[in-house]
Chain A
């Protein structure tokens, strides 16, 4: 044996049907086209023989191990090959000597194809995995562990159907009365079905138990993972924050800021579904509030009802709300600011309210560009509205409303 001759595998990369020809070509060291031509010639000489030979190769020769699923072939090519093949077979069958029934040969090929499909589902690696999962019944492992269970089942069932059709066909052809006996065929099918049902009945509890067991195992793994995640989070964040608090115990503002930031982080971690601030309105608003809390060491009591996606206009609304929060934090001289936002079908509204110093609107608005440009102007530019109510000594409320695209069209048509 020549040592460096590649082992006989079916070819994954150059396959046309099942990679047999290319595999042989690689093994023998000739061109794949030559081998394919040889097969075609053989087919023309003795169609059935060539078919059986190919099927045998296909069934017995494995794919090389590893590297993922075989290359997908365009279905047009497959269809063309199928048509070609069927035509050839029909021609062959027509020209075949009437000694052995050509139909029988065809049926044998069908059975072989079905068996081959099933057989190749069960390569060695897979079988080992199945056995590892369910030692008592490896075939069960096949059913419950396959990652792509659907395609696996489809192929498996497809293979079985082919085998069944082939066998039934053969029974029909070679039945003792030597004619197509429908009732005998039917009873055969019924017997087969009853047998299958019996097997299913016996196996069902076992299958169920195994599936449950696997699910429980998986849940356990997930729990373990969550616990590890929690431990990491506590270690990285909470302990770190506590250490910082101890070091900054004299600085009240700093301690408050640290505690608030950590609290927010923990809350988010515990209760919130994660939404990206660049995508969801509520998340964006909460992020803006968190930034203001951190920067100015105040508390923003945030309540958001409903949610929607962030687009340019909603982004502008969030920016205006942020500006209002900053104003409240800088000028109201209070510890708490309320932020309320509600998303309705026709509009989005945001309210920023404090019970702080307040100001005289007519006196202040002319010279305070923050209010004019960043809040009122911004809302105007995006088709929204900003309204500011403030009473000196009794706090301020900024009300921002932005009609949604749906709301705007409804208003126009209405």
Chain B
């Protein structure tokens, strides 16, 4: 739709590595605010293909099914069920489509339901275009995207409380390394900086974050279900 000769993308790369030899990612926008969609489309157009957009859940379902984009940018709050309804309808039929939640709220309680429904990450709408592009790339690669606040929230939720029953240690607890990575994320470190700080590769950082995401999605820790239940997201 919007790709007229944007082959000079490499000089405007975000911080996280050039996409030499990669095909351009196809992105779908779901948001009920037309102004916001237009803004994102303009910002992303230089690096990615915005192949379609939708303002309602129904439009999103037909649009995503027809276009099969790589990544769907999903608004958390929409009048007719929000991002969660879209996720639940599509995640089984289109497992190859990845979802990134986008919310104006950075109250992580709001997005925990989306993450647990299968979104690969969550960013706030105040994110810069470069960071958003990097986040979309990361999600498309199958990795996870955590904002600092979500990282802090996960640390809180998985805090070692002596009274909290641990049903499944593999899922209900974070390893020390994962904790360290999350702390650095919460301190505003980029993946590259985390890798340098901990003397590990970026790939390893990504693996840690993906593991945390999996735990966040699968764990039955009381805090997680409670937060979700409080927001009627379960």
Contacts and interface: CB of A to CB of B under 8 A. Distances in A.
Contact of A340 (B106, B109, B159, B183): B183
Interface of B: 105-107, 109, 126, 148-149, 151-152, 155-156, 159, 183, 186-189
B149 A301 contact: yes
A359 to B, nearest CB: 18
Contacts of A323: none
A304 B106 CA distance: 13
Interface in A270-318: 270-271, 299, 301, 303-306
A351 B187 contact: yes
Contacts, number: 44
Interface in A352-382: 353, 355
B106 to A, nearest CB: 8
Contacts of B107: 267, 270-271
Contacts of B159: 305-306
A305 B183 CA distance: 10
A160 interface: no
A342 interface: yes
A306 to B, nearest CB: 7
25 contacts: A267-B106, A267-B107, A270-B105, A270-B107, A299-B126, A301-B148, A301-B188, A303-B148, A303-B152, A303-B186, A305-B152, A305-B159, A305-B186, A306-B159, A338-B187, A338-B188, A340-B152, A340-B183, A342-B155, A351-B187, A353-B187, A353-B188, A353-B189, A355-B188, A397-B187
A46 B186 CA distance: 86
A344 B100 CA distance: 31
B186 A340 contact: yes
Contacts of B151: 303
A74 to B, nearest CB: 43
Nearest to B126: A299
A299 B148 CA distance: 14
Contacts of A301: 148-149, 188
Given A340-B187, A353-B188, A267 B152 contact: no
Contacts of A270: 105, 107
A342 B183 CA distance: 9
Nearest to B151: A303
Contacts of B183: 340, 342
Contacts of A304: 152
B105 A303 contact: no
Nearest to B109: A271
Given A270-B107, A303-B152, 16 more contacts: A267-B106, A271-B105, A301-B148, A301-B188, A303-B148, A303-B186, A303-B187, A304-B152, A305-B159, A305-B186, A336-B188, A338-B148, A340-B152, A342-B183, A353-B187, A397-B187
A358 to B, nearest CB: 14
Interface string A53-93: 00000000000000000000000000000000000000000
A299 B124 CA distance: 14
A342 B153 CA distance: 11
A68 to B, nearest CB: 40
Interface string A19-44: 00000000000000000000000000
B133 to A, nearest CB: 17
B156 A340 contact: no
A340 B188 contact: yes
Interface in A91-139: none
A301 B187 CA distance: 9
Nearest to A336: B188
Interface in A390-404: 397
Contacts of A267: 105-107
Given A342-B183, A351-B187, A303 B149 contact: yes
A299 B126 CA distance: 11
A407 to B, nearest CB: 15
B215 to A, nearest CB: 17
Contacts of A355: 188
A353 B209 CA distance: 21
Contacts of B189: 353
Contacts of B155: 305, 342
Contacts of A340: 148, 152, 183, 186-188
Contacts of A397: 187
Interface centre among B107, B149, B187, B189 (most CB of A within 10 A): B187
B156 A306 contact: yes
Nearest to A350: B187
A354 B148 CA distance: 14
A270 B106 CA distance: 11
B181 to A, nearest CB: 13
Contacts of B148: 301, 303, 338, 340
A267 B105 CA distance: 8
A234 B188 CA distance: 32
Interface string A315-343: 00000000000000000000010101010
A340 B149 CA distance: 9
Contacts of A305: 152, 155-156, 159, 186
Interface in A220-277: 267, 270-271
B156 to A, nearest CB: 5
A304 B187 CA distance: 10
B147 to A, nearest CB: 9
A270 B188 CA distance: 24
A349 to B, nearest CB: 9
A218 to B, nearest CB: 21
Among A299, A342, A397, the one with the most B-chain Cβ atoms within 10 Å of its Cβ is A342
